[in-house]
Structure 1
Amino acid sequence: MSMQQQIQEKISSAIACKHLNVINESHMHGKGTESHFKVIVVSEEFAGKRLLQRHREINEILKDELANHIHALAIHTYTPDEYTEQGGEAPDSPNCMGGSKSS
């Protein structure tokens, strides 16, 4: 199972998602595969929770992957209403500015 699939499975098993998108952004960075990801998680479970609490939940779900495999994780968490207000999109991730990839 790929790291992308593993992330998808772990989040969807722990949170009742209305929308979940796991994007492998490793190609935007230095050599190596499946080390940089962006997750977009839309769930009613986030209602009434602060952004930090939402992010902590995702970090806890993926703690083993973060400790051993994932170098960077962009987390975007929304309630369904918030996601609609965003136009159904999350911000683009910035291009890599360091490591072995030149600008």
Structure 2
Amino acid sequence: MDTAEVERLIEEGIEDAEATVTKPRVPDEDHEDAHFAAVVVSPAFEDLSLVQQHQRVYDALDGYMTTDIHALEMKTYTPEAYAEHGPDA
């Protein structure tokens, strides 16, 4: 699975989401291509706790988290929070 496919799954699974997915570190031999990092911005996160926001991302990747994705670092934002804090908040 590549970063574009992970982005597509997140964006299709969460209303009005914009996802940016990268590989956060050098792949290891045991889990090559399985470690991802995602920044996801969506108005669907409004009034949800951070745990609920992350659960929405996991739900969008249902089935792939145990097969194609070994690890996923994520930051989630509403559009307002992203505009205020950016990806380094």
TM-score, normalised by the number of residues in structure 1: 0.73
71 and 10 in structure 1: CA distance in 2 versus 1, 3 angstrom threshold: same
Percent identity reads: 28
Q: CA deviation at 1:85?
A: 2.1
* Ranges in structure 1 where 5+ consecutive residues have no aligned partner: 92-103
Confirm whether residue 74 of structure 1 aligns to residue 70 of structure 2: no
Secondary structure of the 1:67 match is coil
* Ranges in structure 2 where 5+ consecutive residues have no aligned partner: none
Query: Runs ≥4 in structure 1, deviation > 6 angstroms?
Result: none
In the alignment of these two chains, the number of paired residues is 87
Q: Distance in 2 between matches of 1:33 and 1:25?
A: 12
Query: How does 1:2-81 map onto structure 2 within 5 Å?
Result: 2-15=1-14, 16-17=16-17, 19-27=18-26, 29-31=27-29, 32-81=31-80
Cα RMSD for the two superposed structures = 1.7
TM-score, normalised by the number of residues in structure 2: 0.83
